[in-house]
Each structure stands twice: as structure tokens, then as C-alpha cells.
Structure 1
């Protein structure tokens, strides 16, 4: 796999065109989904190899080229990508992290699976455990950074307490979205066409400046990989054919030392999905039995996992254009990045090799989704004991 930093030269427009009467807001500024990055990287890969894009067989062969990511990477304005490390990699906020304001101070609290008390109950299917705040807190939920530093996520999964300010400083809070108003022009009269007016909302790839300084001193780029060569130094990315620089890099998340043995010793693990996931059964991976919720992740035999709990946000729509078939793809529901699943390892089924296979694996049900970069997984140890199941 060859890894690249894609540096957008203009705000990214991702599925944001809308009638002028609709209100544009920050939520419309979207980070590119895996399929967008997969299509863009395969395009420059094909051009680098001189592939004939009018040949449907060649186009279909391109779909089989594996792509991984996208993640994000934060870079100082005067920094070379050769000096980047793991702390510069950005990942989506885990769904089990909650932000609160308590007595005017911002803080973070995690969600943990726990058994309800005798006089409590819930309607979760198949005996799944509900999630409770890890500590009692009297505060108001607030917004916060949607992207974390990879090192902060690893620390969070390792059970360390994180300060809200630290996560905010190390993470990514985009600047204001770039909202542009467009019109259609009559080519003969050079006048605007009545009623043909719309807006686009672009994602600005900069870190929100701290302390109200005039200009940000950190930019954000996209980190992705493809199993093939790319010799071009520029590409089109997103709507309106906006340009992005393409730079080769050796940067990709590396597992912590002894992480596989730590998982085996703990007897359980969490799977945090760093890119959106698509499952046939909605929230449930198809490799889990419907009744027992036990199954083996793809390529990880003999490992067997039992799902105990899950934290995920509301589904998002996913579609696109099929270049090989020259028609739109059917719309699908995807689980947003940051979804977290808690598993217990079925006794005596874990091996170090199987656990290591889980690191940065793609675990969607459909092999094509995996080739497109969906379902990128970060596994970390989680101990099932009375202290966290109460």
C-alpha cells in the first residue's frame, strides 16, 4: 500500500449544492467519504498508468484496486510532510466521548457498557448492554472538536483521562465554512437565468485559530493509501473539480507496543471505526450471528467475538456515480465514523496473529465497500470485569 497526503488548494465541496432558499450552515461542510477519495485516487492511478477510461473492462478493473482511508493530518504552515508523526494524524471523535460544561468549565466524560439495576430495563436487542456515563456529572452537553489526534484516541482507549482543552488543541476544529452563491448564465445573452440560483458550502481545511489571531498557522490535509502507483502531483477532488496537491508519504497509524497481547490478556476489545461503515443489517455487522451476536471478523479466524454494546450516531446517506456503468449508485445507509463496538473474546479463540490482522482492517460486509475504504478499524484492549459492568 502506498500512502499519500492530499492537500486541497480550495475549500472542498462534498454533496452540498442546494436551492438558494435552503439555509447553508456548518453541518453542510462535509469531510470527503471513502468513496470520494477512492474514486479520486483510482482516477490518478489510472492516469498514471495510461489506462483508457473509455474501456469499461479497464474501469471495472480499477474498482478492484484497494484504497484505505481517508483520515486527516494536521500540518503547520511551514512544516514538511517528511517530519510528520503519529501525533499529527487526526481521527474522528469516538461516539462514546461526550462533552459537557460544568460550572463554566468544559470537560469530557466517556460512555461505558453496564448492567442496569434490578428496577431498570431497556429494549436493546439480544441482551446488549446499555451505555452509562462513566461518572455522575451535573452539566450541560456542549459541542466540541469532531476530530481528535490519534495519540489522544489511543490514550482515551487506554483508560487515561483527557482534558477537553488538550483534545481541542491537538484535534481539528475547522474554520467557518466557505459559502458561495452561484447562478446559471445564458451563453447567448450573458445574463443570469431567472430562478437558477443555488449555494455551495465548502469545507475549509484549516485549524480554527486560537485566541482570535488573524490567520491560522495549521492546515489540514487528507491522508489515504492506494495499492498502486500515483505519479501525478495534482488531482481533482470533490465538486466543481477543485484541485488538490498529491504528495507521497510514509505516514499511517502504527499499533502500540504489545497491543495484541494486551487485548488477549484483557479478554475483550473495542473496535472504533475511523471511516464510515456500511453493514447489510444496518447497525449490526453481518459476520455476527443474529441471535448470539457471536462471530469472526473477516480474515481473523480462529478469533470469535461476542458483541456486548455499541455506540453510534444516526445513519447518513451514501450514494455516488458508477463510472463503469454510467449510472448513479443506489443510495445506502452508512454508520458515521467514530462508531464504537465493545466485544468480549470467546474463550481460547484469540491468537496474536488474528488480533494483529484487525489493526487498520476494513470490516464491512461487502468486499467492494472494504476496497473503497469503508469500515477502517482501530482495535484496543477492553477488560470485562465487575468494575465496569456493575
Structure 2
């Protein structure tokens, strides 16, 4: 598919939803950032190129994530945060294990609300390794339900590093540094060849190679490149044959039921959802803050059982193409609630 690579020309200030501004504050970077980062940057660039605000009424971000260029700079390799159903438990990155949805033994009770509990079946206990990402081949392995190998895993340090910056607030009246108002903030420095990948629909204008956009705090520059992105297709024949599938959020999910998606065909048997995030932001069109909303984070995984109806499979294919239902048209345009579908992981 056609996509845009947003390659930063400087470090980026990617803020989340945490308060920042008191004396001694530390502003943490958010990686990966919300898809609204790219939606705002692309719409602003389209307007700078002459598009009217009214012409962007149907704009919708259809893809957002991290990617890196191939060695020949002719295609993009997508990168995912480690899905929630994969646990890596040693420092050599060779012990990746899938969580398995299991029925609770008779007599064992818990507050878990679903029929099956995602369970780690490992020979020896060990502390999970964090900060890992899947390479393009690793994404293909996950989508096929195949084992995740060491070569499929990337530490975040191979993709970016954090650059701590020291600052001091200014006193507007004295035109000098304010007393006791020193703060620090984290900037993200992406490695060469690594950037953000995005795609959109609902607008007929195509951005050109070399166009510049503003990303994150302080509006740091990034250059656009039109590239090809290869995304493995779900094995629909296997999903139909086995009658079950996994759903992963590739952007944060905003659901009326909190962590649980709506409008998804089949019975939800199990879910592995990390701690909820809160999104907000500023609406430039209205000059008002956007409402704060809780989200299920990127990488959350859900296991479903189909009833065997062909119509359910067709609806599932539409969700894979268009994203999960979302009531807020603004958040839909910003690229929230995107997902990918895959068979259940193979037993090993």
C-alpha cells in the first residue's frame, strides 16, 4: 500500500497527558505517540498547501505507527510494540512465549470477567523483558500465529534514544529567568532511517516528497516521503476453518465499555489489556481543549470465537479495513481504534 514516511529532522518533544509546569517538573516522552500527532501534522500541511478546512471534513487517518526504511530506501518495514500476548523472559531475547487463554480450574475464583484467562505457560519463572518491538518479519510471524524468535525482536534503544533537556521558565514582566522554575523534559531522537508511517483517505490532494510538517512540541520539522509499505494479510481461510481469531489494537482504542471493543463479531473469550491511558489535546479549530478520554493501549490483544456464520467473517474483514466502531468523529478522523486480525497462536 502507499504510505507516507515522516522522517524527523530534529529531536521531537512527544508529550503525553501528564501535568507539566511546576518547579522541578520532568516531562516524560510518550512513545509511540498518539495517532493524532500525524493527523494534525498532515491536515495542517494540506491547509498550508491551499486546502480549505471544509475540504478536510472527510479526512481520516487510516494508518499510523513506527517504521524504518529498507536498505535500498524503496520500501518501509513496519514496527510494532510487543503485543500484550507475547512475553519475553530473558535478557537474550530468546524466550518469547505466547499467553494461552485457559479455563479456570474448578473451585478457583477471580474478578476476571471473561470465560478464559490469558495464562503464561513457561518451564521456569523469570522476569519479563520490557521495551521490545517486533520487526517486520516478527509482525508476519505474529499474524500467522507462529513462534516469535530472537531475530524478530528489537530493543527500543535500536530505534530511538531519549535526550534529556534542561530548561528554565521566563518571567514575562522582568524579562529574565524566573526564580526556582527549573525543569527537565525528554526529547526523542530517532535513529537514522526510522520514522513514523502514516496514510490517510478522504482528501484528493497528494503530498509530495520533500514536503515539511511540524511534529510534536515546538513544532519540530519532519520531511515526508511517499513509500510502499508491505502489510501481511490475515489468513482468512484459517480463521474460517478454526472459527476463532485474535484482534490487536494498532492504535489506542476508545470504547464506551472502557477496555472492551464494541461491534466485534463473535464471543469475546479472553483479553490481555495493559493499564489504561488517558488522551486529551487541544482543538485548534474551536480553540478549546479536547475532552479527556480513557483508552485501551496499543498492543492490547483480544481472543474471539466465531459462531460459524459467513456474515461474521465478512464483518470482521470490514473491521480490519476500516477500524473498530467509534462514536466520536473527531477521534475517528485522528486514527484511533485501528486493529489487525490474526488466527490464534499455534500450540508449541
- TM-score bucket (shorter structure): 0.7 to 0.9
**Once the 2 structures are TM-superposed, how far is the Cα of residue 264 of structure 1 from its aligned partner?**
0.4
Whether the 8 Å contact between 2:82 and 2:299 is mirrored in structure 1 is yes
What TM-score do you get using the length of structure 2 for normalisation? 0.86
Matches within 5 A, 1:162-181: 162-163=148-149, 165-169=150-154, 173-181=158-166
Match of 2:63 in 1: 69
Pick closer, same or farther for the CA change 1:50–1:131 going to 2, 3 Å.
Answer: closer
Matches within 5 A, 1:182-193: 182-185=167-170, 191-193=176-178
Give secondary structure in 2 for the equivalent of 1:269.
strand
Match of 2:253 in 1: 277
1:203 and 1:188 mapped to 2: Cα distance? 32
Pick closer, same or farther for the CA change 1:128–1:48 going to 2, 3 Å.
Answer: farther
1:234 and 1:176 mapped to 2: Cα distance? 23
Pick closer, same or farther for the CA change 1:231–1:349 going to 2, 3 Å.
Answer: closer
2:157 and 2:243 mapped to 1: Cα distance? 33
Match of 1:93 in 2: 82
Match of 1:323 in 2: 284
Tell whether 2:41 aligns with 1:47. no
Whether the 8 Å contact between 2:131 and 2:155 is mirrored in structure 1 is no
Match of 1:9 in 2: 9
Matches within 5 A, 1:99-178: 99-101=88-90, 107-125=95-113, 127-145=114-132, 147-163=133-149, 165-169=150-154, 173-178=158-163
Whether the 8 Å contact between 2:87 and 2:99 is mirrored in structure 1 is yes
Matches within 5 A, 1:364-375: 364-366=325-327, 368=329, 369-375=331-337
Give secondary structure in 2 for the equivalent of 1:49.
coil
Identify the match of residue 342 of structure 1 among 303, 306, 310. 303
Identify the match of residue 356 of structure 1 among 309, 317, 341. 317
- Which is worse superposed, 5-14 or 246-255? 246-255
Tell whether 2:24 aligns with 1:21. yes
Give secondary structure in 2 for the equivalent of 1:283.
coil
Per-residue Cα deviation, 1:46-95 (whole angstroms, up to 9, x for no partner): 222342xxxxxx36x5353111221111236xx454x225xx21122101
Whether the 8 Å contact between 1:29 and 1:202 is mirrored in structure 2 is no
**Once the 2 structures are TM-superposed, how far is the Cα of residue 341 of structure 1 from its aligned partner?**
0.5
Pick closer, same or farther for the CA change 1:171–1:183 going to 2, 3 Å.
Answer: closer
Pick closer, same or farther for the CA change 1:7–1:105 going to 2, 3 Å.
Answer: closer
Identify the match of residue 271 of structure 2 among 307, 310, 335. 310
Whether the 8 Å contact between 1:313 and 1:336 is mirrored in structure 2 is yes
User: Between Structure 1 and Structure 2, how many residues are aligned?
Assistant: 340
- Which is worse superposed, 346-355 or 260-269? 346-355
Match of 1:239 in 2: 217
Q: Which structure 1 residue ranges, 4+ long, deviate > 6 Å from structure 2?
A: none
Whether the 8 Å contact between 1:268 and 1:383 is mirrored in structure 2 is no
**Once the 2 structures are TM-superposed, how far is the Cα of residue 247 of structure 1 from its aligned partner?**
1.1
1:172 and 1:255 mapped to 2: Cα distance? 29
Per-residue Cα deviation, 1:12-33 (whole angstroms, up to 9, x for no partner): 2122655452346xx6343220
Per-residue Cα deviation, 1:209-241 (whole angstroms, up to 9, x for no partner): xxxxxxxxx431000011232436001010011
Match of 1:248 in 2: 226
2:60 and 2:281 mapped to 1: Cα distance? 18
Pick closer, same or farther for the CA change 1:187–1:119 going to 2, 3 Å.
Answer: closer
Q: Which runs of 5+ in 2 are unaligned?
A: none
1:199 and 1:47 mapped to 2: Cα distance? 32
What TM-score do you get using the length of structure 1 for normalisation? 0.78
| Aligned Cα root-mean-square deviation (Å) | 2.9
1:151 and 1:350 mapped to 2: Cα distance? 31
**Once the 2 structures are TM-superposed, how far is the Cα of residue 152 of structure 1 from its aligned partner?**
0.8
Per-residue Cα deviation, 1:125-183 (whole angstroms, up to 9, x for no partner): 2x4311111333322233241x21232133134332223x3133497744431111122
